[in-house]
Amino acid sequence: DAGVIQSPRHEVTEMGQEVTLRCKPISGHNSLFWYRQTMMRGLELLIYFNNNVPIDDSGMPEDRFSAKMPNASFSTLKIQPSEPRDSAVYFCASSFFSLAGENTSTDTQYFGPGTRLTVL
Measured CA distances, 82 to 27, 41, 68, 89 (Å): 31, 18, 17, 14
Closer by beta carbon to other proteins, 37 or else 66:
37
**What would you report as the CA-atom Rg of the chain, rounded to the nearest whole angstrom?**
14
Measured from the CB atom, the residue of 59 and 81 that comes closer to other proteins is 59
Cβ closest to other proteins, residue 17 vs residue 38: 38
Can you give the binding site for other proteins, defined by CB under 8 A? 31, 33, 42-43, 45, 48, 50, 55-56, 58, 91, 97, 99, 102-103, 105, 107-114
Residue 27: CB minimum distance to other proteins, A = 18
